[in-house]
Amino acid sequence: MLTRKQAIKLLKKAGCRDNVIQHCIAVSKLATEIAKKAKENRFPVDIKLVEIGALLHDIGRSSTHTIKHWNIGSEILKDFSLPANLTRFAEVHAGTKISAEDAKRLGIKEKDYYPKTIEEKIVAYADKLTKVRFSRKNQKWKFIFYEDISHEISKLKKKKDLSDEQKNRIINDLIMLENEVLSLIKFKKLPYTSLN
Ligand SMILES: [Fe+2]
């Protein structure tokens, strides 16, 4: 398994900008916390895989910020000769399925994009809860962690380029993902705000 340092080096090598790298570091931090709690609850979770998978999940953003960064990210990771359990994080971090019809329309591969393993679910969920911004005052990146996915759902509802049916499908998937991950931590809220 890659070390954290090696994973960050790969992000830089691929050409990810600082905001993307900081986002990946923040997601990795939160995802690792969730994974540790899941492990305490005796779920068979590979904490290291969560940490590194989260660091690499957005590597495709070195090339594009469109939905195509999922497939591209996975290709970049394959080019770095990484195994499938790591390359998959790039493709399954949205936490929602994409219908064959939508995949065609969006120009991405037709496949099941819903996260399957515990590790993939944790990373996809942590990704939904994480935001970073640069504080000019402190000249430092600040990590923001949401308590749940409700902000993501409100954002989605306002989208004009999706039909109501598509929105409902995504919302259902996100709620399912949230429940799956919260069940790993026995529905206890994490002290997200203390992660900064
Ligand atoms: Fe992300």
Taking only the tens place, the pLDDT of each residue in 156-167 is: 999 998 899 999
Buried/exposed 84-103: b ≥16 CB within 10 Å, e otherwise: eebbbbbbbbbbbbbeeeeb
pLDDT reported for residue 43: 96
Burial of 164 (0-12, 13-18, 19+ CB in 10 A): exposed
pLDDT reported for residue 193: 52
Q: Per-residue pLDDT for 131 more than 60? A: yes
Burial of 21 (0-12, 13-18, 19+ CB in 10 A): buried
Cα 127 to ligand 1 centroid, rounded to whole Å: 5
With a pLDDT cut of 90, the percent of the chain lying above it is 89
Taking only the tens place, the pLDDT of each residue in 57-115 is: 999 999 999 999 999 999 999 999 999 999 999 999 999 999 999 999 999 999 999 99
**8 Å CB contact between 102 and 180:** no
User: Helix 69-79 crosses helix 84-91 at what angle (to 10 degrees)?
Assistant: 160
pLDDT reported for residue 167: 92
Cα 65 to ligand 1 centroid, rounded to whole Å: 10
Model confidence at 196, pLDDT cuts 50, 70, 90, reads low
pLDDT, the chain, mean: 93
pLDDT reported for residue 83: 97
Average pLDDT over residues 30-51: 96
Q: Per-residue pLDDT for 138 more than 60? A: yes
Q: How far apart are CA 183 and CA 103, in angstroms?
A: 30
Cα 109 to ligand 1 centroid, rounded to whole Å: 19
Cα 168 to ligand 1 centroid, rounded to whole Å: 21
Place of tokens 């529905």: 187
Average pLDDT over residues 119-141: 95
With a pLDDT cut of 70, the percent of the chain lying above it is 95
Average pLDDT over residues 19-37: 96
Q: What CATH class is the domain 4-191?
A: mainly alpha
Model confidence at 139, pLDDT cuts 50, 70, 90, reads very high
Cα 24 to ligand 1 centroid, rounded to whole Å: 6
Most distant CA pair in the chain, distance: 46
The ranges assigned to domains in the chain are: 4-191
Q: What residues are neighbours of ligand 1 (ion), with CB under 5 Å?
A: 58, 127
Q: Per-residue pLDDT for 190 more than 90? A: no
pLDDT reported for residue 14: 98
Cα 4 to ligand 1 centroid, rounded to whole Å: 17
Cα 120 to ligand 1 centroid, rounded to whole Å: 12
Cα 192 to ligand 1 centroid, rounded to whole Å: 17
Q: Per-residue pLDDT for 143 more than 80? A: yes
